[in-house]
Amino acid sequence: MKTDARNFAATKEVLVPLLRQMLLVRRVEERLSADFHAGKLPGGVHLYIGQEAVAVGVCAHLRDSDTITSTHRGHGHFIAKGGSPRAMMAEIWGKRSGICRGMGGSMHVADVSKGILGANGIVAAGLAITCGAAYAVTLDRSDRVAVAFFGDGAANQGTLMETLNVATLWNLPMIFVCENNRFSEFSPTSTVTAGDIVDRARAFKIPCASVDGNDVLAVHGAAGAAIERARKGGGPSFIEAHTYRLHGHLEAEKSFLKSAYRESAEVEEWRGRDPIALFKTYLRGEGILDEREVDALEREIAAIVEDAAQFAEAGEPADPNLVFEVMFHEQRA
Amino acid sequence: MAELTYRDAVVRGIAQEMARDPDVVFLGEDVAKAGGVFKATVGLLEQFGPLRVRDTPISEQAILGAAMGAAMTGLKPIAEIMFSDFFAVCFDYIANEIPKGRYMSNGQTKCPLVVRTGNGGGARFGAQHSQSVENWCMMIPGLKVVAPSTPRDVIGLLAASVRDPDPVIFLEHKSLYAVKGEVPDGEILDTLGTASIVRPGKDATILALALMVPRAFAAAEKLKSEFGIDCEVIDVRSLVPLDTQAILNSVARTHRLFTVEENPRLCGWGAEIVSIVADEAFYELDGPPVRITTPHIPLPAADILEDLALPSVDRIVDRVRRSMEN
């Protein structure tokens, strides 16, 4: 780990929850992967495995009243922001007990009570929505912030420039978090993206940071500074977090892709930089957690995930009445 | 009671709602300092201040996305897209984001916003500033679609749209901004999904929207005085929700149906209404329903060409007369 925890006076009370949340995101998604390949899940799932340090490092600073928007790869943000694994997994299973009662599915998990305005199936769409949530803060004069998670692929949509411009002009409490996971779907980012993404934001003269997205403390540090600045009226910030998508664009891809779009050696190399393994090593090295404590944490998380998966699988099917009931306000009895 | 232009009615409608509810905010291109390209938002900046009345960049996606995010987190934004043609620039927010949030989240997120826009032809602006796009909006589940034809309706329906808990596309007609009409004093609040009979008649029903309402009315007067054909003219006012009952009741009285649509012919709103009438009142009809529309073309710019394309009073008269003679 390049970042020293002492940079932000980290204590065990700050550090252990970071590992705990990363483990929770990872184990939930590993279970979703297994359930998908067992043919149990409807639709497709886009997994966040390998990128956990980004969502967790940012969301550690957020309160329920702060809002986030997310992407088609949104399970990690949902959990990191405090969403319920049970309610999310049931949603992905298409069950009545899902957080959106099965109306949204994997790409649209939302929990407004936790400030999760929603994952979004349209690349970059959450950016402008976050801009509006941040604008609303300027009217209630609170110290809330709004965070947009988006990928390197979204950086190639015009919405990013529109939103950077408005957020900067209006000095909005908005944090842009670009997760550069090195792939736009199946295209290596270098083949579809010119220059460095963070330089696009630098043109707006706002605070920008380029961080190792597999180093949760690096993300945590940059996000902490950006969020604190926004809370104090200092306007928007941009963080580009360099990470790696260990799984495919979506779990189903092997069934339709004719050939591999990346070398397995590359994937293995990045497995060696797994953000969770790196952080565990760091915590042990600093004497913050010992092996026994890590194992206990793993067991606790495994129990939560098993419970959530069983809850999802055992849930009632979605309610057919909802199909016609929820489009407009007055339709809801 | 005062005489007001359609343009001034827009200002009064927005001001009425912003004064009533501090959560109502207004944003768009050149809407604040410049008072709007159609001068339909003059004075709002001075009255409500720069935080609630905001000029935006020429960034339609940011305008609608920001309006949506603000609506999801407690505000009731009115967003202006200067020309409805520009909906195509931000269609993701119109088709994928704004109308689907409530549904996808099972009602957790709400989107009480109004998108105001200048719609329709007659201003000789050419093919990218003159379209009638009410049919683009009507086809999207989750949007309400309103298009007033009088100053009074502008205020009443705008108020109803702002107070509606769901997203409303509010189509103001560019060629009506200078039109004057009587408007009562005090607060005006109308009801979405209610059509209005602007001229009762017994021989045929003519449905129209926005600029086509005064044209249908003038045509009906001419049909009566010159040919003795007594037409009922209905201002549909709101495509979603649609006042199906008012339309079916009128057809049950007159037994003939005409629609006058400014949007290009294919998939115009009248096709949907004709389909509803065919489903529910087929045996009330004494003749085939007739759609009078703009042809399926982009709008030309030159005055005589644009006039040729849009349904005119004479074309309505001619089409109704020929059809009624058969």
Which range has the worst mean pLDDT, A8-22, A31-45, B136-150, B204-218?
A: A8-22
Of B62, B92, B103, the CB nearest to A131: B62
Residue B12, CA atoms < 13 Å, CB-side half-sphere: 22
How big is the A-B interface in CB pairs under 8 Å?
139
**DSSP assignments along B132-151, one per residue:** --HHHHHTSTT-EEE---SH
| A2 confidence band (pLDDT: 50, 70, 90) | low
| A132–B69 C-beta distance less than 8 A | yes
C-alpha triplet B187, B193, B194: angle, nearest 5°: 70
Q: Which helix (H) or strand (E) holds A310?
A: helix A291-314
Kindly identify which residue of chain A lies nearest to residue B67, measuring between CA atoms: A132
Distance in angstroms (rounded) separating the CA atoms of residues B199 and B205: 10
Reply yes or no on whether the pLDDT at A1 is more than 70: no
- pLDDT attached to residue B152: 98
Interface of B with A (CB under 8 A): 25, 51-52, 54, 56-57, 59, 61-62, 64-75, 77, 92-93, 96-97, 101-110, 141-142, 144, 164-166
Q: Domains (ranges, CATH) in chain A?
A: 12-326 (3.40.50.970)
- Residue reference for tokens 């709008």: B299
Distance in angstroms (rounded) separating the CA atoms of residues A161 and A139: 23
Interface of A with B in 145-164 (CB under 8 A): 146, 158-159, 162-163
Q: Where do the domains of chain B lie?
A: 2-183, 196-325
Using an 8 Å CB-CB cutoff, list chain A residues near B79: none
Residues of chain B predicted below pLDDT 50: none
Q: Which helix (H) or strand (E) holds B291?
A: strand B290-294
Report the b/e string of A65-98 with b at 16+ CB within 10 A.
Answer: ebbbbbbbbbbbbbbbbbbbbbbbbbbbbbbebb
The torsion angles phi and psi of B2, rounded to 5 degrees, stand at: -140, 155
- pLDDT attached to residue A5: 47
| A166–B56 C-beta distance less than 8 A | yes
| B102–A128 C-beta distance less than 8 A | no
Distance in angstroms (rounded) separating the CA atoms of residues A2 and A279: 11
- pLDDT attached to residue A333: 40
Does the annotation count B129 as an active-site position? yes
Please check whether residue A302 touches B, CB under 8 A: no
Q: How far is A106 from chain B (nearest CA, A)?
A: 11
Using an 8 Å CB-CB cutoff, list chain B residues near A147: none
Q: How far is A124 from chain B (nearest CA, A)?
A: 10
Reply yes or no on whether the pLDDT at A237 is more than 80: yes
Using an 8 Å CB-CB cutoff, list chain A residues near B91: none
| A139–B52 C-beta distance less than 8 A | yes
Q: How far is B107 from chain A (nearest CA, A)?
A: 6
- pLDDT attached to residue A8: 53
Reply yes or no on whether the pLDDT at A140 is more than 50: yes
Tell me what the mean pLDDT of segment A152-157 comes to: 98
Using an 8 Å CB-CB cutoff, list chain B residues near A67: 69, 73
Tell me what the mean pLDDT of segment A178-200 comes to: 97
A196 within 8 A of A240, measured Cβ to Cβ: yes
CATH architecture of residue range(s) B2-183: 3-Layer(aba) Sandwich (3.40)
Nearest-10 Cα torsion for B108, B17, B119, A135:
-50
A63 within 8 A of A116, measured Cβ to Cβ: no
- pLDDT attached to residue A4: 52
The answer to whether domain B2-183 and domain B196-325 are alike in fold is yes
Kindly identify which residue of chain B lies nearest to residue A128, measuring between CA atoms: B65
Tell me what the mean pLDDT of segment A104-114 comes to: 98
Please check whether residue A203 touches B, CB under 8 A: no
Using an 8 Å CB-CB cutoff, list chain B residues near A163: 62, 65
| A329–B64 C-beta distance less than 8 A | no
The residues that bridge with B234 in the sheet, in sequence order, are B197, B207
Distance in angstroms (rounded) separating the CA atoms of residues B178 and B176: 6
Using an 8 Å CB-CB cutoff, list chain A residues near B165: 329-330
- pLDDT attached to residue B38: 95
Kindly identify which residue of chain A lies nearest to residue B93, measuring between CA atoms: A125
Distance in angstroms (rounded) separating the CA atoms of residues A298 and A19: 10
**DSSP assignments along B200-253, one per residue:** --SSEEEEE-TTHHHHHHHHHHHHHHHH---EEEEE--EEETT-HHHHHHHHHH
Using an 8 Å CB-CB cutoff, list chain B residues near A127: 65
Q: How far is B105 from chain A (nearest CA, A)?
A: 5
| A128–B68 C-beta distance less than 8 A | yes
Q: Which residue from B25, B129, B146, B23 is spatially nearest to B85, judged by alpha carbons?
A: B129
Whether residue A207 has a cis bond before it, omega within 30° of 0: no
- pLDDT attached to residue A10: 74
| A146–B68 C-beta distance less than 8 A | no
What ipTM is given for this predicted complex? 0.95
Reply yes or no on whether the pLDDT at A9 is more than 60: no
| A6 confidence band (pLDDT: 50, 70, 90) | very low
CATH architecture of residue range(s) B196-325: 3-Layer(aba) Sandwich (3.40)
Tell me what the mean pLDDT of segment A313-331 comes to: 92
Interface test with A, best of B27, B63, B73 (most A CBs within 10 A): B73
Q: Cβ neighbours of residue B184 under 8 Å, at least 6 residues apart?
A: B1, B152
Q: How far is B18 from chain A (nearest CA, A)?
A: 14
Reply yes or no on whether the pLDDT at A331 is more than 90: no
Reply yes or no on whether the pLDDT at A267 is more than 70: yes
- pLDDT attached to residue B260: 98
| A326–B103 C-beta distance less than 8 A | yes
Condensed to tens digits (0 to 9), the pLDDT of residues A211-220 reads 999 999 999 9
- In the set B129, B173, B255, B296, the catalytic residue is B129
| B71–A132 C-beta distance less than 8 A | yes
Residue B28 amino acid letter: G
The residues that bridge with B55 in the sheet, in sequence order, are B28
Of A122, A133, A165, the CB nearest to B59: A165
A47 within 8 A of A73, measured Cβ to Cβ: yes
| A108–B73 C-beta distance less than 8 A | no
Interface of A with B in 66-85 (CB under 8 A): 67, 69
